[in-house]
Amino acid sequence: MVNTKVTLSGLELDNPIIPASGTFGFGYEFAEIYDINILGSISCKGTTKDARFGNPTPRIAECTNGMINSVGLQNPGVDKVINEELKKLSKVYSKPVIANVSGFSIDEYAYTCEKIDKAPEVGIIEVNVSCPNVHNGGMSFGTSAESAAAVTKAVKAVTSKPVYIKLSPNVTDIVSIAKACEDAGADGISLINTLLGMRIDLKTRKPVIKNKMGGFSGPAIFPVALRMVYQVYEAVSIPIIGMGGVSDARDVIEMMLAGASAVQVGAANLVDPLACKTMIDQLPDVMAQYGIDNLKDIIGGGH
């Protein structure tokens, strides 16, 4: 019998598979399709201090082996997330969740994280300094080691739960940014968020996305994500949640060999709502096929 359990900052997960923020709503919608308690955890939809409608439409574009989105952090704001969305989720999901938080200033990050830190449903706070779809916020904090460290330090000062910083791949040196977050007190790193991409409509000769550019995700970015997880694992001693183009249980194993302690699944959920369930079902067979008895044993095994 194989052991699929993994640990993130003292939090034991039944398996390493976690739906990524923004691709699974607040989770309870999927409870109508299958028992979501089989999931390792859920990274909830990105939450900001105030409610956001998001970016103008169209904000989705299809690509070969992927998609571009520019949703722009649409969410009801932190108070409603705590008092309504997490409460709804707790009726159908009994495990601690990952609260994904974004902001437009260091003060906003700190304010929102301090509030959500008190929510009993939350086990880990994932601080998104990497959203490419908003102006004057999100990714602008994650493309500089100093800014990412400043956000980390501010959030750690007002929270008691583990803080994972979600990093952008749209940089030349991901390692120095991850190291800066670790030095500033981060408990873990999540990577990668989406790459910046665009499409142009041949008929109108204008960008398909109203916002012109958006986050490129899907199977096409998996090798980039894998490379960055591999590099960061060699530089930090805190856990990594790997993500980016994960499409099946073999990708999960590969991401863990690169150094991920757990794996988030994003765009695959938008293609197939049962994607995470299928991966969890596949995992024991794939582990047996490759002679893996205990998933914890293979973390970083590709180094």
- Residue positions annotated with a catalytic role: 131
SS3 268: helix
Which residues make Cβ contacts (< 8 Å) with residue 244, sequence separation at least 6?
169, 191, 192, 194, 217, 221, 222, 224, 225, 226, 228, 266
SS3 121: coil
Peptide bond just before 192 cis, omega within 30 deg:
yes
Assigned token pair, 59:
């904000």
Residue with tokens 């994003």: 266
Rg of the chain, C-alpha, whole Å: 18
Peptide bond just before 58 cis, omega within 30 deg:
yes
- Please tell me the chain's helix, strand, coil percentages from 3-state DSSP, rounded to the nearest 5: 35, 20, 45
